[in-house]
Structure 1
Amino acid sequence: MKSKIQLICRSVSYLLLISLCLVNQIGKAQDIIIPVETKNNALVLQVTQNKDLSNIYIGKKLGNPAEYANIPGHYKQGTDYSDGTLNSAYSTAGSRNLFEPAVTVTHADGNKSLDLRYVSHKVTRTDNNVSLLSILVKDPVYNFEVVLNYKSYYNEDVIEQWSVITHQEKGNVILHKFASANLYLQSRKYWLTQYHGDWATEMKPEEVQLTHGIKTLDSKLGTRANLFQPSVFMLSLDKPATEDEGTVLYGSVEWSGNFRVDLELDNKDNLRLIAGMNNYASDYTLKPKEVFTTPAFLYTMSDKGKGDASRNLHNWARNYRILDGKGNRLTLLNNWEATYFDFDEPKLFELIKDTKKLGVDLFLLDDGWFANKYPRNGDVTGLGDWGVNKKKLPNGVASLVQEATKNGVKFGIWIEPEMVSPKSELYEKHPDWVVKQPQRPEHYLRNQLVLDLTNPKVQDFVYGIVDDLFTENPDLAYVKWDCNTVVFNAYSAHLKNQSHFYIEYMRGLYQVLERIRAKYPKVPMMLCSGGGGRVDYAALKYFTEFWPSDNTDPLERIFMQWEYSYFYPSVTSSNHVTDWGKQPIKFRTDVAMMGKLGFDIVVSKLSANELKFCQDAIKSYDAVKSVIWQGDLYRLADPRVNSIASLVYIDDKKSTGVMFNYLVSNRYGEGSKLPVRLKGLDPNKTYRIKELNIYPETKTSIDETKSYTGDFLMTVGFNPEVNEKRTSVVLQINEI
């Protein structure tokens, strides 16, 4: 009954908005108001009398939509020298705009000016939750038009925005810049949280107050685009947002290649946000009637702080974007740190037996299983030669799959299909398939080069790598897709127009992934890129999970996984227990359980107690993993400002939770000195708290017989008793 009432209310609201647009068109031609509303927020556009399309509001939605038309009149910030284009919904260059444009072109006749005026708009409703607003704007002089698309997800408070560019001029048009979105925010101050890093140091946050001028976040790496700077960020309005307070916008470019985000504070102290593909070295020649579609810019906004914004994005991702976002994930044992490149069939058979003994679902064979002329015995040869190495695996991958099946576990395999070793048969046979400048010396990262995915023959080759593995091994259950180098000496022997390279490469990659998913729609695949070098919501359409970092030191991982959690749900984060770091096996396992659990250890070297602990922890994890993966995340104690880190996942019924607590300081006497206040529980329900992952021959210090109301746990809190002897504590919270 409640859902029917909500549906009626939304329908009435929608009709009211349409009526508002019509009334304004009839009564005041200069005031066409076009709101995009979600459950809590609104993005409001206005069409002026001369058909300029402007952003007039983004923030908490109003109870009366008719009042959106009153907003512009209450900003008294001085003269707009750009004649009404300062807050343009898609700012142009060469005409009236004086600031950073979203789109720049050279017309067929050589003219570089562009002016886009409103023509029409329409709303398409996918269902009760998802709507698409499409606005057509057109140049009054040139036959050049853009459709601005705003896809809104009502319950999740999420909007995806992209542009579709076409023309019918008498000749080609050159696109110099082609943003996906152009927002205009009005606030007293703006605080940007961005991220930076490198291999093994991913997702290091920096928060700064934006000053006048342009702040640009971008990548020019071609592949592995997030290596130095990921395409996600936060923008706080008025003051820095906290976990539970303040207005914050999360933004993310849905593109796995070069991205660009411009944040320009103008002379009126307003902020122009322009986001999309990076136009670096990418002038695009657009033929008449050709359609150029930009990737989406994804954003959510909350006036309740970072935690609420995260939960919005997590819900959207699980419901609408991540491959099998609400499905199962496989725990696994990886052989990499046990063997590196040094293995053979008997050694792998023993590791498969260890997989069963450990109690995980799958054995994952990593790098080094292929190439014969130039055997893959290190990272200097063989990449691109995907024939099974006959010396290491005389009976092929099939024998490993059979052995896994015999032991009651599944089998997965590592590939790096976009790259090639200079010392390989593939390079010798097809040097024209490699990205390199003909007249310049080759430059390598990890002794490899990039294959030219702009070439359809290369796309077929890369698709064939995956297809052949599954054709020969139908029971193959998992793929780890790696990508370890960036583009040096960008040049395609296939392309006639080198300015299209960076765009066409990524289009080629997506075409390959589309083909793979069309034939193998449900096979789990890990998105790996030398660690977290490629993590974005365009790629996660094809992958079930990603690899946050090659740095698996659990203390480091607490901080990395914490930052990733702002933007990506835990079901996507592959966390492995390894020998990195000096922490005990319990601490390493507890940290890895924050997301999708895996192991990369030598099981045979574990002590009896260590093995029993891991086996019991996996059973506990299997019992609560659905809460971790699908529950609402509440961050409780930030490791950057506390001596402990604490967070909790709560299921949608508020009946079960899993709370993770870690000591992150080695200073004397540090620990959970104060109770940790929980969030997300029902204040009227009563709960008991049980400790999980207790190490053999030890006992919990938690009194598991006591009960607490949700009110007590959220108002006073609960002390997990984290200290130098209890450095990690995992608690299960159950409604009585």
Structure 2
Amino acid sequence: MKKTNFIVFLFLLCMAQMRAAEQRPIRISTAETDLILRVAPNGRVYQSYLGSRLLNESEFANLPLYVRSGSDDAVSTRGWEIYPCSGAEDYYEPAFGIQHNDGNMTSIFRFVSSEVKKQDDNVTETIITMKDDVYPVSVKMHYLTYAKENIIKTWTEISHSEKKPVSIFLYASNMLYFESPKYYLTEFCGDWAKEMGMTSQELKFGKKIIDTKLGSRAAMQSYPFFQLGLGDVVRENEGDVLMGTIGWTGNFRFTFEVDNMNNIRIISGINPYASNYELKPNEVFVTPEFIFTLSNQGAGKASRSFHDWARNYQVKRGKDDRLTLLNNWESTGFNFDEKKLEEIMVEAKDLGVDLFLLDDGWFGNKYPRVNDRAGLGDWEVMKSKLPNGIPNLVKAAKDAGVKFGIWVEPEMVNPKSELFDKHPDWAIRQPNRETYYYRNQLVLDLSNPEVEDYVFGVVDKLMTENPEIAFLKWDCNSPITNIYSPYLKGKQNQLYVDHVRGVMNVFKRVAEKYPDLYMMICSGGGARCDYGALKYFTELWCSDDTDPFERLYIQWGFSQFFPSKVMCAHVTSWNWKTSVKFRTDVAMMCKMGFDLGLKELKPDELTFCQQAVKNFNRLKPVILEGDFYRLVSPYESNHTAVMHVSKDKNAALLYAYDLHPRYAEKLYPVKLQGLDPEKNYKLEEINLMPGAKSTLADNGKVFSGDYLMKVGLRVFTIAEANSHVVEIKCCD
């Protein structure tokens, strides 16, 4: 009898706690956004609101509780549960799927507790713990808010204590809901040399999925970002926009599902394709981070939120300087020796950049790296090219007055390599089928801890022997093909997940051991462009396509989510018919570098580049730390314009580019943004060729910020491949 009374007491206490939780909404908020969750009488947690920050907590009780209550109340059965599992009463795409030891394939998670951890005045973490009351399975939902930056980062931890491993076949990072008359999705797509193209469509009833199945990187055809216009198309400076991305260097999936009530659910996470995961008892499965912001002033404001957050919190050395560099690839390819490299180092110093970067082709002896068909995996200096080794190159760079950087691709292997001869079982490939080689190489199996140690050791050995190396360019040219892991044997469905975890762990180990090392992430161009990897890298390579026309589209796309400090842009000989000035002006809107033979330049062109480097270094605080504004889209005009504005609004840079104007077309003034309307600014065109004078009618004049933002400047022309860079300085 006493035992029965005790059980009744516990039940009543539990119900009282759930009722109390229902009365106290869980508020997850930034300075501008509220995400409000509620615990329903059934003990399950539902999203009640996601939108602009509410002023009065006393009104939270009036918010709807979107609970699926049953057939007698069909109109209100929308069921906005924050982590629904497959097989229950929700008939739309779930966040979670599991098969228990007894074969049952559902779970229903009920509220246990919520916890708030304030990391500092700006960053707060909310943790919601839920458990299945039938099976010993639990999830913890993490929400990390950045108040000033208006960013919310979310992820989920899944665990269980069943007797044997369970199989999880869906494991989303997060699920969000909205109700709006219309939804317009902007997605990003492309391929090698045409990264980050932007397309838009209206979403109607049903599902739209954006995903990849590349394995070793996040992007190629699809990119791990999206913009969702709520009520209207995504616009730059007005309207409600959700912008989201996932921090995962592998297969991802975004699902957008509009239901029969015209509500939308957005599910983000690892792509579950071929990835049922065997979760051991008490093992914790941690999903990647989904990061989002909600703007009521268009995509421009949302982008600046991402930029500030990335610099302040996410990117390695996000608040530090960046190095300008001269790369040898476009001028030499694989054809170089010590003398040639030493000459380029002197050129780098003469140009005024900080760093010389040695690209591919410096390694391999039995299988020399003289092309892309051999040598990957054999990270020993090629004696025939570089008889005195890397230490001599580091010293030569130092003697020339620049720092030294080097290219690596340690996750890959050529079949023609000593590594493959010794460890063919370290490569991902089918044991019983003909091998397909993407770019003559295979991906090393980083689900194998031994391989992970090897890959880390490649970098560690290089840095230990050459501690003055200042920069690594880390490449990844192949997605996973021939999907099979000799290490995982009977658990092949875990390869896509465990491989990426191994990759990320190597990144983490390198970053932790070498915190001062600048590192560029690259992947056949811009195919590695996720904020998971950028925790450990200082910058990313946007594209191998450095044609300035194409770069303006590519950089426009990447700027939606990444600050200029992170986006590497090099002046090269691609589209040599355009002027060096135009190519340089395009690169200067990002983290500028050079990759061309300086001896190809005419004397006045070299002088121009030297002055441009000085201008870039002088204006780094504005370019790398300032607010970025997209003014005229290349998708909507024969011209494009952007600008940087310093945080104190005392300085700015305007970039204007004429692409392919039509004959005698109407030219419109460009209205600036981000300035202080009360301040006066003097205009001065910079990056002029030696002896040239500015053709801007307003060059040297003073205008108020109010005038520049409301009336604007006439900076476009009808000349193809023409550009202006205008420095705007407060003169009050």
**Closer/same/farther in 2, CA of residues 726 and 704 from structure 1, 3 Å limit:** farther
Between the aligned partners of 2:421 and 2:19, the Cα distance in structure 1 is 72
Paired residues of 2:662 and 2:718 also in contact (CA < 8 A) = no
Structure 1 vs Structure 2 CA RMSD = 1.9
Q: Residue 44 of structure 2 is aligned with which of 52, 57, 61?
A: 52
Q: Residue 33 of structure 1 is aligned with which of 25, 28, 42?
A: 25
What's the CA shift for 1:705?
3.4
1:529 aligns with 2:523: yes
After TM superposition, list the pairs within 5 Å mapping 1:261-272 onto structure 2.
261-272=254-265
Secondary structure of the 1:466 match is helix
**Closer/same/farther in 2, CA of residues 485 and 26 from structure 1, 3 Å limit:** closer
Note the residue ranges of structure 1 that are not aligned, 5 or more in a row: 1-23
Between the aligned partners of 1:27 and 1:454, the Cα distance in structure 2 is 45
Q: Residue type matched to 2:483 in 1? A: A
| Per-residue Cα deviation, 1:513-539 (whole angstroms, up to 9, x for no partner) | 121112111110100000011100000
Partner of residue 13, structure 1: none
1:478 aligns with 2:484: no
Paired residues of 2:551 and 2:586 also in contact (CA < 8 A) = yes
1:612 aligns with 2:604: no
Partner of residue 228, structure 1: 221
After TM superposition, list the pairs within 5 Å mapping 1:653-732 onto structure 2.
653-670=648-665, 673-702=667-696, 703-724=698-719, 727-732=722-727
What's the CA shift for 1:29?
6.8
Partner of residue 279, structure 1: 272
Partner of residue 569, structure 2: 575
Partner of residue 432, structure 2: 439
Partner of residue 84, structure 2: 91
Partner of residue 516, structure 1: 510
Partner of residue 163, structure 1: 156
Secondary structure of the 2:243 match is strand
1:641 aligns with 2:633: no
Partner of residue 491, structure 1: 484
1:183 aligns with 2:176: yes
Paired residues of 1:254 and 1:537 also in contact (CA < 8 A) = yes
Partner of residue 247, structure 2: 254
After TM superposition, list the pairs within 5 Å mapping 1:181-580 onto structure 2.
181-496=174-489, 497-580=491-574
Stretch deviating more after TM superposition (588-597 or 724-733): 724-733
Q: Residue type matched to 2:617 in 1? A: D
What's the CA shift for 1:299?
0.3
Paired residues of 2:68 and 2:78 also in contact (CA < 8 A) = no
| Per-residue Cα deviation, 1:625-675 (whole angstroms, up to 9, x for no partner) | 22111100111111111221111110111000011110022422358x222
Between the aligned partners of 2:44 and 2:416, the Cα distance in structure 1 is 57
**Closer/same/farther in 2, CA of residues 30 and 511 from structure 1, 3 Å limit:** closer
Paired residues of 1:31 and 1:49 also in contact (CA < 8 A) = no
Secondary structure of the 2:204 match is coil
Between the aligned partners of 2:569 and 2:185, the Cα distance in structure 1 is 28
What's the CA shift for 1:348?
1.0
**Closer/same/farther in 2, CA of residues 74 and 539 from structure 1, 3 Å limit:** closer
TM score, norm. by length of structure 1: 0.94
How many residue pairs are counted as aligned between the two chains?
713
What's the CA shift for 1:351?
1.0
Secondary structure of the 2:184 match is strand
Q: Residue type matched to 2:622 in 1? A: V
After TM superposition, list the pairs within 5 Å mapping 1:63-74 onto structure 2.
63-72=55-64
Q: Residue type matched to 1:198 in 2? A: D
What's the CA shift for 1:76?
13
Stretch deviating more after TM superposition (99-108 or 469-478): 469-478
Note the residue ranges of structure 2 that are not aligned, 5 or more in a row: 1-15
What's the CA shift for 1:284?
0.8
Between the aligned partners of 2:171 and 2:381, the Cα distance in structure 1 is 44
**Closer/same/farther in 2, CA of residues 725 and 430 from structure 1, 3 Å limit:** closer
Between the aligned partners of 2:215 and 2:67, the Cα distance in structure 1 is 42
Partner of residue 119, structure 2: 126
Between the aligned partners of 2:154 and 2:226, the Cα distance in structure 1 is 16
Paired residues of 2:114 and 2:129 also in contact (CA < 8 A) = yes
Of all paired residues, the percent bearing the same amino acid is 47
**Closer/same/farther in 2, CA of residues 75 and 462 from structure 1, 3 Å limit:** closer
Secondary structure of the 2:619 match is helix
Q: Residue type matched to 2:722 in 1? A: T
| Per-residue Cα deviation, 1:225-277 (whole angstroms, up to 9, x for no partner) | 30110110000100013111000000101101110111100111000111011
